[in-house]
Structure 1
Amino acid sequence: MAAIDEYIDAIIERGGRDARDDGSAAIEAHHLLLAVAAGGDTTSRAVLTSAGLDHRSVRDALDREFEHSLDAAGVSTAAFHLPPPTLTGPPPSRLGASARLALERGFACVSRKKDLRPAHLLIGILRAETGTVPRALALAGIDRDDLIGRLHREVLTQAT
């Protein structure tokens, strides 16, 4: 198995654990982002860290996005004490629509699979125009286009 396949499998596995921790039935793009922030690719993690994003700060941004979305619907998390998710059973292994799209966007960054790098997966996650990830990052004041540009430069630097 190629190193990129092992990396993607590891990110999906870690994303599954984050999905279970959320009580989700499927792994979504925000779970993949959490996994990348905690994962083994130094390039992706360094670019995220340079923007102030580690696993904890991504989790905090996602929590703020959840609260903001509920507030927009007229529901205050302060008024209700939501129970924690039930953490029974194995982590989900099924990819949700946003995770599948993130992978597709990452793969579309290259014309040949052998050119695929772990940073391309993060680019695919960050390129989402709608959904939890762009809303959470916008609320955290993160410039997704800047992150994508830095990732592209890092990938090009590694290729030369």
Structure 2
Amino acid sequence: MVERRDRDDHGMSRALREIIIRAVAEAQHRGDSVVEAEHLLLSLSRETGSPAAGALDAAGLDHAGIEAALRAERAASLASAGVAPIDEERLAAMPRIGRPRWGTSARDVLARAHRESARTRNRAAETDLLAAILGLDLGTVPRAIALAGVDREAVLAHAGAESAPGSPGARRR
């Protein structure tokens, strides 16, 4: 059974706290004024050794794969509005100095992850977060994942199998 002792004063797992801190850094690095679900997904992909990151990687969604999927989603969204693709260099932003706000999709994902954690007490926090992200029906992340041709349920099943108690990929919270 996965223990839940590795938590801070707010009840958040230390692993999840690190993912959130990296998500803020992802948003800042990209020059975004808001932290959204895609920043959480990018951060989660960098969680070396976690079942969630392993499942993403197996589906071709390592950090570079997620960035490529997000670029494809942006191009498809612009095309659907009749806007020609914009050169990546023109889209490059300077890293933000200030702290970005929390966007709707990120708040939704974190609330879903909290509910998921209460429901699945024996699973790693990273896998609960992945389940929450993959559970989104609307927004940039679901469109990007669909364009990448990734089966969300298969990714989550892979992550869940690796985070099951006693499996080689299982991690403590």
- Fold similarity call, TM over 0.5: yes
Instruction: Answer yes or no: is 1:53 the counterpart of 2:90.
Output: no
CA positional deviation for 1:84: 1.6
Residues 132-141 or 5-14, more deviating: 5-14
Conserved in 1, the CA contact under 8 Å of 2:32 and 2:96?
no
Q: In 1, distance between residues paired with 2:20 and 2:49?
A: 14
Aligned to 1:144: 152
Deviation string for 1:93-151 (max 9, x for gaps)?
x3211011111112222337965622111111111011111100110110112112223
Is residue 68 from structure 1 mapped to residue 76 from structure 2 by the alignment? Answer: yes
| Other-structure match for 2:133 | 125
Work out whether 1:98 is the aligned partner of 2:105.
Answer: yes
Q: How far 1:87 moved relative to its partner?
A: 1.6
Q: Once superposed, what is the RMSD of the aligned Cα atoms?
A: 2.6
1:107 and 2:118 correspond: no
Higher fraction of helix: 1
Deviates more, 1:127-136 or 1:72-81: 72-81
- Unaligned runs of 5+ residues in structure 1 are none
- By relative contact order (CA 8 Å, sep 6+), the higher-ranking structure is 2
**Paired letter, 2:20:** I
- Three-state SS of the structure 1 residue aligned to 2:116 is coil
Alpha-carbon distance, 1:152 to partner: 3.0
Q: Which runs of 4+ in 1 moved over 6 A?
A: none
Cα distance change on mapping 1:56 and 1:157 into 2, 3 Å: same
The TM-score normalised by the length of structure 2 is 0.79
User: SS state of the match for residue 78, structure 2?
Assistant: helix
Preserved CA contact (<8 Å) 1:110 1:116 = yes
Q: Percent identity?
A: 32
